Amino acid sequence: MNAPFGRPVYVVGAAALTAFGMGWRGLAHRLAGGERPRTRAVPPLGSEDQPCEPRHLKMMSRSAYLAAAAVKLVLRDAAVAALNIPPADTGYFLGVGASGGDLNELESMLGESVVAEEFDLRRFGDAGLRAGNPLFAFQLMNNFTLCHAAILAGLQGPNAAFFSRGGGTVTALREAAFAVGGGDAPLVLAGGADSALHPVTAFELARAGVTTPSEGAAVLALAAQSNDATPVRLLRAEVLTDGSMAPSPTGDTVCVRGTDLDAAFGHTLAAAPALAWMVALDLLAARAAGRVRVETTGLDGVTAVIELGKEPA
């Protein structure tokens, strides 16, 4: 059997947070029906779904919070729990967006960094930094979108955060698949989390003509084994460097395009490809297809394709 990642890689769990709420089942139906969420923000989570204590939130960006919630959700998936793989052996690769720090903290730091109405780097390194909360750095560093979830869940396997406006998230999936296929970890999480609702990000997008900022997070759990009689396999995950897309497949393969999701859910940046994967899983779970191809082109212009299929174990 063809195994492009060294050996077969199975999808054993998934989690998603969108403006529709928590969960990935039904996303394909919503997309096909032209349904639109009432808001661009992920609705508030229940107490049992919160990824951390309230005191931890002062260290987390919105993206980090969404990523941590998605990781908590996927780890309690029954199929993932049944594998009984300890967090210390679990890997984690994530596509992340720009930092999203508290604007009040930023304004305080900038206010103390101005001399004669101009920004002064020396003053910023002294009075500016001292004007901010020391914990503010954990909001600003975008790799902490991954780190907070890893710390909270105790994940200690191979890991990496990839800055993404689309392509980096697919690279995260590829790295996760190779980690599983190469035997570096028995269980690896992969996905993306981002919020385009931060005022700075929303302004950046508006200048580029994007008027539908949104947010979300989605994570796949990949493993070299599955207890499902007809498991979902990751058949392909490829970033197309020349931007060309192979002809659309035929037969029982259904094609999901990221542009359709942007129209439905809004622009979720680093989370967008991962949310498209959730739609693919929903199609497979509903037996609407035996194989699904996901084509995405992010705001970075990077084109990518992944394929998921149900095959006998």
211 lies in the same domain as 86: yes
- The yes-or-no verdict on residue 250 having pLDDT over 70 is no
30 lies in the same domain as 116: no
**20: number of Cβ within 10 Å:** 21
pLDDT, residue 271, reads 96
265 belongs to a structural domain: yes
- The yes-or-no verdict on residue 253 having pLDDT over 80 is no
44 lies in the same domain as 160: yes
Domain at 80, CATH number: 3.40.47.10
107 lies in the same domain as 243: no
279 belongs to a structural domain: yes
pLDDT, residue 246, reads 58
308, burial (CB in 10 Å: exposed 0-12, middle 13-18, buried 19+): buried
123 lies in the same domain as 150: no
Q: What mean pLDDT do residues 114-129 have? A: 90
121 lies in the same domain as 255: no
Q: What mean pLDDT do residues 280-302 have? A: 90
pLDDT, tens digit (0-9, with 9 covering 90-100), for 55-102: 898 889 999 999 999 999 999 999 999 999 999 999 999 999 987 878
Q: What mean pLDDT do residues 160-170 have? A: 95
CA dist., res. 16 & res. 218, Å (int): 4
3 belongs to a structural domain: no
37 lies in the same domain as 118: no
Instruction: Tell me 6's DSSP state.
Output: S
Q: What mean pLDDT do residues 194-213 have? A: 90
Q: What mean pLDDT do residues 146-150 have? A: 96
- The yes-or-no verdict on residue 264 having pLDDT over 60 is yes
Mean pLDDT across the chain = 90
67 lies in the same domain as 212: yes
**48: number of Cβ within 10 Å:** 7
pLDDT, residue 243, reads 55
- The yes-or-no verdict on residue 225 having pLDDT over 60 is yes
92 lies in the same domain as 15: yes
Distances in Å between the alpha carbon of 261 and those of 234, 241, 297?
21, 22, 11
Q: What mean pLDDT do residues 139-157 have? A: 93
Contacts of 235 (CB under 8 A, 6+ apart): 2, 4, 291, 307, 308, 309
pLDDT, residue 263, reads 84
How many domains would you assign to the chain? Answer: 2
pLDDT, residue 252, reads 60
pLDDT, residue 258, reads 82
Q: What mean pLDDT do residues 225-244 have? A: 86
Q: What mean pLDDT do residues 15-36 have? A: 93
1 belongs to a structural domain: no
82 lies in the same domain as 114: no
pLDDT, residue 153, reads 97
pLDDT, residue 100, reads 81
Q: What mean pLDDT do residues 129-144 have? A: 83
20 belongs to a structural domain: yes
258 lies in the same domain as 280: yes
5 belongs to a structural domain: no
pLDDT confidence bin for 248, thresholds 50/70/90 = low
Of all residues in the chain, the percent with pLDDT exceeding 90 is 65
300 lies in the same domain as 151: yes
Contacts of 229 (CB under 8 A, 6+ apart): 312, 313
pLDDT confidence bin for 1, thresholds 50/70/90 = very low
* Residue range(s) defining the domain that contains residue 281: 10-97+146-310
pLDDT, tens digit (0-9, with 9 covering 90-100), for 272-289: 999 999 999 999 998 877
pLDDT confidence bin for 185, thresholds 50/70/90 = very high
Nearest to 297 by CA among 218, 240, 216, 246: 240
